[in-house]
């Protein structure tokens, strides 16, 4: 298996150095580093990495705008946003911009390596319960005012079957494929087929976008039980 090629974008040199050492020890190829968002965009255009570790708060251009530009230039690239323990207010917007997930900066070495490999395969980092709470928090912050109580879907969900709508709703609540299979009494292979069809019908990149869509269309609301 070819090692993922990674660019690290963070304005703190010690963070970049630490992440480089961890990823390299884990068999991942770190091809470049950037100290701000603008430099990150230019570096990605030059190097075409598989994954970008992107800090949200950086000078010259923040990670959110940098992620948008990176994904506009190369939709195949995966972006993992880096955030602090205080639940950065830009996380929901980062997911909406197309990021494949996010990591806390105090992530363990094993989790960091696993996360990069996970998103490189096309999945998204949305399984941990902390992610579920964060997505709900930022979906609530981005929700329409009470006067617009019924969200207007920005994509047509009518193409989905009732089962696919059920799967999308559970995806929005942060359920993994294993959990979905148990919830719906189906095999994981069948769940993967449903998920793939949902992505194809709605032109979604990954589970991160599916979560955002589930909130924006009203399938899931902040405060809903995690299923």
Pair 164, 104 in one domain: no
Pair 205, 168 in one domain: yes
**Each residue's pLDDT tens digit, 132-185:** 555 555 555 555 444 333 333 456 788 899 999 999 998 888 777 888 899 999
CB 115 within 8 A of CB 107: yes
For 9, the enclosing helix (H) or strand (E) is strand 5-9
Q: Report the SS3 class of residue 53.
A: strand
* CATH assignment at residue 178: 1.10.10.10
Pair 35, 118 in one domain: yes
Separation CA 124–CA 111 (nearest Å): 13
> Sign of dihedral through CA atoms 190, 124, 116, 2?
positive
The domain containing residue 61 runs over which residues? 5-125
Name the domain boundary from 63, 90, 125.
125
Pair 75, 160 in one domain: no
Classify residue 225: in a domain, yes or no: no
Per-residue CA distances from 189 to 78, 177, 180, 181, 192 (Å): 24, 9, 11, 9, 5
**Each residue's pLDDT tens digit, 67-101:** 999 998 888 899 998 877 555 566 667 777 788 88
Look up residue 120 and give its two tokens.
């490189």
Per the structure, the count of domains in the chain is 2
CB 29 within 8 A of CB 3: yes
Classify residue 221: in a domain, yes or no: no
**Each residue's pLDDT tens digit, 35-65:** 999 999 999 999 999 999 998 888 888 888 9
Among candidates 55, 78, 37, 19, which has minimal Cα distance to 208? 78
Q: Report the SS3 class of residue 136.
A: helix
**Each residue's pLDDT tens digit, 174-210:** 777 888 899 999 998 899 899 989 988 988 877 777 8
């Amino acid at each position: 298996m070819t090692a993922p090629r990674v660019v690290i974008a963070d304005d703190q040199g010690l963070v970049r150095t630490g992440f480089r050492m961890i990823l390299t020890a884990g068999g991942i190829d770190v091809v470049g580093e950037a100290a701000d968002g603008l430099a990150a965009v230019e570096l990605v255009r030059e190097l075409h990495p598989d994954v970008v570790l992107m800090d949200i708060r950086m000078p010259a251009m923040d990670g959110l705008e940098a992620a948008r530009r990176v994904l506009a230039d190369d939709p195949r690239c995966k972006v993992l946003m880096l955030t602090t323990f205080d639940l950065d207010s830009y996380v929901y917007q980062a997911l909406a911009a197309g990021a494949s997930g996010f990591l806390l900066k105090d992530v363990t070495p094993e989790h960091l390596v696993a996360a990069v490999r996970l998103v490189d395969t096309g999945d998204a980092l949305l399984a941990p319960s902390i992610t579920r709470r964060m997505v709900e928090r930022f979906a609530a912050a981005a929700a329409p005012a009470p006067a617009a109580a019924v969200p207007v879907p920005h994509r047509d969900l009518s193409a989905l079957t009732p089962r696919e709508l059920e799967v999308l709703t559970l995806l929005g609540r942060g359920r993994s494929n294993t959990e979905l299979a148990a919830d719906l009494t189906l095999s994981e292979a069948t769940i993967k087929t449903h998920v793939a069809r949902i992505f194809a019908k709605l032109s979604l990149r990954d589970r991160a976008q599916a979560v955002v869509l589930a909130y924006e269309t009203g399938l899931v609301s902040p405060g809903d039980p995690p299923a």
